Amino acid sequence: MMLSPMPFSLWKMLYLLAGRVSKTEKKETVLLSFYSMYPFVLVCSLFCVQCIFFVFFFVFRVLSISSSG
């Protein structure tokens, strides 16, 4: 299993969420739904990282402009 791209705590949180949503289903079905959510989670995490970098860049630009002026 490839668990390296995401932190363990995030995997654990998603697994608990999937298990809580479908308690009556079998473990295989939970794992299937969990792995089908992977592309969505990957896109969301990339988007969040991009937003964080944008915010840091914006703050850095504002600080550099205010300090130079």
Rounded Cα distance, 29 and 47, in Å: 28
pLDDT values of the chain reduced to their tens digit, one per residue, 69 residues: 444 555 566 667 777 766 665 555 566 666 677 677 778 888 888 898 999 999 999 999 998 888 876
Rounded Cα distance, 46 and 39, in Å: 11
Which of 5, 14, 4 is closest to 46 using CA atoms?
5
